Amino acid sequence: MNSLRLVLLFSIVVFQVSGQEPPYSNNFFSFHFNVQNNSICITSRGNDTLVSQSSFLQELIDIRTGDTVRMNASASSVILRTENGRPVYTWIDSTPYCITVFHAAFDSIQEAIKIDVEATYKKDVQVIRDAMILKMSQPLKEVYRRNTIVDTAYFQSEYWLNKAGARFGTGKNTLLIYHTPGISSLQLNAAENMLVINFDYANDHPFQHFPLLDSMKYKTEDYSCSIFKAGEARKNSFTIHAGKEIDFVPRLMLNPNGFLSGHIFTEHADWTDLPTHKAVYFGSEIISKAKKANGGFIKNKIPVTKSVFYSNPDSVLNSESNHKSIFTTPIASIKESPDFFEFLKQLKKSKIEICLHTPDHFTSARQLIDEACAFMQENFQTVTWIDHGYNNGPKNNREAFVCDGLNAASPSYAKDIWEKYGLKYFWNSYYEDFKTSDSMFFDFSGSPMHPYPGFGDAAPQPLYWRHPSRTGNFISWGTRDLLEMHDPASWEYHYGSRKLNDFVYQRAIKFEHCYPAGSIEDRGFWKKNEKNILVVEPEFNKVLQRLSAYADSGWINNTTVKSLLDYWVAQENISFDYTDSNVVKITNRNTSEIKGVSFAVNARKIISQKKMNQKIFDGDLIFWFDMKAGESVSVTFK
């Protein structure tokens, strides 16, 4: 992974604006462009510099030669014209590999500068990074971190901000960039007061691929880089707010309804049978009805994203596991396991998300993939997929997301089937198989947060992402570790109140990769009681009780992949208009309602005609409300 400090290696020529006529000015700012240095500069109406200079960086791999090339572009054309009644300033950057067109749109009565970017590639390339770098002149005032916490002092030297942002300067020398769903990510070098706007950055969208070989060899390829062929294009957009006093910036929270943190159990379906399912969901294998649950997920009202096998055409037995299953029965599947489908229907009524762990234990034929996806859509409205068994051999679930499911030339191609039945959210196993620059900061004092956030925000850690070229419109989400406790007493150590309180204060999100119904003993989810009956492990049940209590307090959102990603995707279409120094208009640009959309702001009081819920936490005022499609809400902050 490339460190943000590499930015310091990029040659940026200082651009002096004195004595030059700006190409555009309004009541808030002046926008300058120096063709010779290929650099923008933004000044306030008081002629104080906000952005002193810019540069454009491309780091690519030439597919034909295999060479890695780092390019600084030169401006080949500059035009100021009017489009739809608005002045638009266009400049074109050119390298031997790419032509990039920038359109900066202005409004005479607004401080917003909307910049659209279109890169068209001249050669076949892999993109490591494609970025615009801004050198700020005003002091850094606020950093809107990826976890929704704001830093106002003691800044870290580097931040990966995801799509959040930062504010520089005060009063009419303010420059703000916040909420940037149209780019890959933002990075901030606070020590150098430098902001990196990544239009494409390989570390923002990790992906791996297991090529087909003659056997299982654990050989994987890093497919994180985007691939563009000659003539293909990529589009981005972002907005800068310049020259207007903006004292309050409400930040989108990562959870709805005022929740501060989020926790998701994602269950993999390997080596199970109905008794262990009943034990961890209902409390005991002898309980068959959800309404009679005396423990486990259902009794404690803990949602799960639960994957299942649809079929077992190879009649795989639990006893074939290398991990010494307690069962000799066939592995649980919807088609072949008596009563399993009825059990799952009960779970659905209890808000458990049901999805596929691929259709069966081994590689599935396309006919079975179609049948399974159709069944899951009809009965469970499934939108999530969790890979199983991915590896290099012909039997290793070649239809998996990280195998050949996206390969149209493969007999295991599944992308068209996934699209046909509305699947959207795919488990991406990259972080469990590759070391990244934050791997060394993985653990701290037994915290469930991996990597531990106290080590800093420099490394990219997306919670969900789209790959620009390899995975279509599908959205990835990832896990960082495997959850199991060989010693039941470890549950209290890792998930006791002290650790969970830290989890909440860090506003963390955790997707757990786990096998609670797996039929392997000593994994910490179930046990045999004195009557030899399978029951939920008491120490694990205490954790579920604790998580439920934290949810009742509004601290931890126990949720599912579908619920949380639906919320995050909807947030992409929230917009902010800073109509006064302490007034913000928030608009839902989705075609559907958002329930409980939540914000944090450093303010003492909010005033709005909209009915809102609110609370104070750790210096922030948290507020939330429902927003109808197209609705705008004006909020005044004090």
Pairing of strands 194-201, 29-34: unpaired
Q: Which amino acid, residue 420? A: K
The packing angle between helices 538-552 and 497-505, to 10°, is 40
- 544: in domain: yes
Residue 114 tokens, joined: 């909307």
Question: Which strands make up the sheet holding 574-580, listed edge to edge?
Answer: 574-580, 583-588, 632-637, 606-607
For residues 593 and 548, membership in a common domain is answered with: no
- CATH code at position 100: 2.70.98
- CATH code at position 316: 3.20.110
Residue 194 tokens, joined: 């430098």
Structural domain including 582 reads: 573-637
For residues 560 and 633, membership in a common domain is answered with: no
- 256: in domain: no
pLDDT higher than threshold 80 for residue 115: yes
Beta bridge partners of 189: 158, 194
- 601: in domain: yes
Q: With contact defined as beta carbons under 8 Å apart, do 13 and 166 qualify? A: no
Which domain-ending residue is among 535, 566, 597? 566
pLDDT higher than threshold 80 for residue 380: yes
- As to burial, measured by CB atoms within 10 angstroms (0-12 exposed, 13-18 middle, 19+ buried), residue 14 is exposed
CA–CA gap between residue 63 and residue 228 (Å, rounded):
10
Q: What is the pLDDT of residue 289?
A: 98
Pairing of strands 583-588, 24-25: unpaired
- 50: in domain: yes
| Mean pLDDT computed over 114-135 | 98
Cis peptide before 451 (omega within 30 of 0): yes
CA–CA gap between residue 332 and residue 308 (Å, rounded):
8
Q: What is the pLDDT of residue 434?
A: 92
Q: What is the pLDDT of residue 85?
A: 87
For residues 217 and 345, membership in a common domain is answered with: no
Q: What is the DSSP string of 368-415?
A: HHHHHHHHHHHHH---EE---S-SSSTTS-TTSTTTTTT-TTSTT--H
Q: What is the pLDDT of residue 5?
A: 45
Determine which of 67-71, 79-83, 371-375, 552-556 has the lowest per-residue pLDDT on average. 79-83
For residues 8 and 81, membership in a common domain is answered with: yes
CA–CA gap between residue 336 and residue 328 (Å, rounded):
15
For residues 544 and 593, membership in a common domain is answered with: no
Phi, psi values for residue 570, rounded to 5°: -65, -35
Our count of domains for the chain comes to 3
- 127: in domain: yes
For residues 121 and 15, membership in a common domain is answered with: yes
CA–CA gap between residue 94 and residue 487 (Å, rounded):
60
CA–CA gap between residue 391 and residue 397 (Å, rounded):
7
311 vs 441 pLDDT, higher one: 311
Q: What is the pLDDT of residue 279?
A: 98
Q: What is the pLDDT of residue 522?
A: 94
Nearest to 518 by CA among 386, 312, 327: 327
- Per-residue pLDDT band for 11 (boundaries 50, 70, 90) equals very low
Tens-digit pLDDT profile for residues 521-535: 999 999 999 999 999
CA–CA gap between residue 35 and residue 111 (Å, rounded):
24
How many other CB atoms are there within 10 angstroms of residue 47's CB atom? 9
How many other CB atoms are there within 10 angstroms of residue 420's CB atom? 13
Residue 149 tokens, joined: 């916490």
- CATH code at position 609: 2.60.40
For residues 78 and 224, membership in a common domain is answered with: yes
Angle at 102 between CA 98 and CA 104, to 5 degrees: 175
DSSP 139: P
- 254: in domain: no
Q: What is the pLDDT of residue 22?
A: 66
| Mean pLDDT computed over 421-425 | 98
Three-class DSSP category at 120: strand
For residues 579 and 550, membership in a common domain is answered with: no
CA–CA gap between residue 465 and residue 467 (Å, rounded):
7
For residues 353 and 492, membership in a common domain is answered with: yes
- 253: in domain: no
CA–CA gap between residue 267 and residue 448 (Å, rounded):
17
- 174: in domain: yes
Which domain-ending residue is among 202, 224, 247? 247
Give Cα 140 distance to the centre of its chain.
26
Residue 101 tokens, joined: 């067109």
For residues 240 and 302, membership in a common domain is answered with: no
Q: What is the 3-state secondary structure (H, E, C) of 315-338?
A: CCEHHHCCCCECCCCECCCCCCCC
Pairing of strands 112-121, 233-242: antiparallel
Tens-digit pLDDT profile for residues 572-606: 999 999 999 999 999 999 999 999 999 999 999 99
pLDDT higher than threshold 60 for residue 2: no
pLDDT higher than threshold 50 for residue 13: no
Q: What is the pLDDT of residue 488?
A: 97
Give Cα 380 distance to the centre of its chain.
24
CA–CA gap between residue 202 and residue 420 (Å, rounded):
28
Residue 466 tokens, joined: 């789209």
Which domain-ending residue is among 534, 566, 598? 566
For residues 125 and 269, membership in a common domain is answered with: no
pLDDT higher than threshold 60 for residue 87: yes
Tens-digit pLDDT profile for residues 271-291: 999 999 999 999 999 999 999
Q: What is the pLDDT of residue 80?
A: 86
Nearest to 68 by CA among 58, 53, 76, 77: 58
Angle at 297 between CA 296 and CA 302, to 5 degrees: 145
pLDDT higher than threshold 90 for residue 74: no
Q: Across all residues in the chain, what is the average pLDDT?
A: 95
For residues 50 and 75, membership in a common domain is answered with: yes
Where are the alpha helices (H) located in 481-554, listed in sequence order?
Answer: 490-495, 497-505, 538-552
CA–CA gap between residue 102 and residue 99 (Å, rounded):
10
